[in-house]
Amino acid sequence: MDYYDQHVHTDFSFDSDEKMAAYLKLAGENFVSTEHLDFKAKDDKSGDDLFDYDAYSREIKRLEKESGKHIFKGVEIGYFAGREADIHAYLKQHAFDIKLLSFHRSAEYDFSDNMISQMDPLEVTDKYYRLMWKGINAFHDADVLAHFDYGVRNLNLTSGMFETTAGVLLANILKLAVRYNMAFELNTTSMYKYHNIGLYDYAIEIYKQLGGKRYTIGSDAHEANSYMNNYENAVEMLKAHDIHHVNVYRKNAMVVVPLDDVDEGIKY
């Protein structure tokens, strides 16, 4: 089987206007979207960012019939401290083929906010990875650890600065990801739009040395023209680390897709 993008947003996510049908024009036999599920502080007047699962399911069923393609259900879980019970309750009531775990927000702000670039980069880095460390200890019911660098995307960090500030924390985070069988995501938006290729080189090797064997490539697309962006470059990075497969998820099963023979899938 062919590999397909494992991190995609449609208009079922609060921050995308793209129709699922637009992606299907570009996708092969298989497609998955990973829609946002972001709980916030209970007193946040903007409310939680959830999506209409029933409407999502109906649209998938309609498009599968219309296109003849296999469409899988995915969710990007935006962790927020103190809302673990709500996240578990939502996941218990709604079935997904793939679950991404992301860390977007502190109690004060989203780490993508413009204000982040005006803050002390080392303080932001330390805060973000302490938040992630506490979060992954508290919640790890996911298949993939998504864009490990989300909190530092808007910072000008060298790999050396990153290692000094967050190296130990990241190693401990990735150790837990390995323990809980979570894949490491190569997020091509982070790598190529935000120029964090060096951080991914650094983190992949840590994950690998800790015994991690699961890898996904996700564009983090919010519009169809970003679908599968820079996939080939991410593949070359994996090969440079002597990694020769990627993974996809479906119906609680993991599929291994060899990079040298993407027409073959091995399920275990």
**Interval 161-217: pLDDT, tens:** 999 999 999 999 999 999 999 999 999 999 999 999 999 999 999 999 999 999 999
Q: How much is the pLDDT for 261?
A: 57
Supply angle C-alpha 59, 60, 62, rounded to 5: 65
What is the Cα–Cα distance from 32 to 5, expressed in whole angstroms?
A: 7
Closest CA to 171 of 133, 124, 200: 133
Q: Is 129 helix (H, G, I), strand (E, B) or coil?
A: helix
| pLDDT in the model for residue 4 | 96
Residue 150 located in a structural domain = yes
User: How far does CA 243 lie from the centroid of its chain?
Assistant: 19
Q: Is residue 11 part of a domain?
A: no
pTM of this prediction?
0.95
Coil, strand or helix at 25: coil
| CATH code at position 54 | 3.20.20.140
pLDDT at 94: 97
Structural domain contains residue 4: no
d(CA 217, CA 238): 10
**Residue 8 falls within a domain, yes or no?**
no
Tell me how far apart the alpha carbons of residues 154 and 157 are, in angstroms, rounded to a whole number: 9
Is the residue at 123 inside a domain?
Answer: yes
Bridge partner list, 250: 253
| Residue 6, domain member (yes or no) | no
Its domain, for residue 240, covers: 20-267
Tell me the DSSP string of 222-258.
SSGGGTTTTHHHHHHHHHHTT--EEEEEETTEEEEEE
pLDDT of residue 264: 44
Instruction: Provide DSSP, 49-110.
Output: B---HHHHHHHHHHHHHHH--EEEEEEEEE--TT-HHHHHHHHHHS--SEEEEE--B-SS-B
pLDDT at 1: 53
Whether the CB-CB separation of 198 and 159 falls below 8 Å is answered with yes
Evaluate the CA torsion angle 249, 25, 68, 262 in order and state its sign: negative
212: left (phi over 0), alpha (psi -120 to 50) or beta: beta
CA distances from 248 to 6, 60, 127, 165, 251 (A): 7, 18, 31, 32, 11
Instruction: Write out residues in the chain with pLDDT < 50, as ranges.
Output: 263-268
Residue 260 has what pLDDT?
A: 79
Question: What is the tally of structural domains in the chain?
Answer: 1
User: Does the residue 255 lie in any domain?
Assistant: yes
Are 115 and 48 within 8 A, CB to CB? Answer: no
Q: Is residue 3 situated within a structural domain? A: no
Alpha-carbon distance 243 to 208, whole Å?
9
Q: Give residue 263's pLDDT.
A: 41
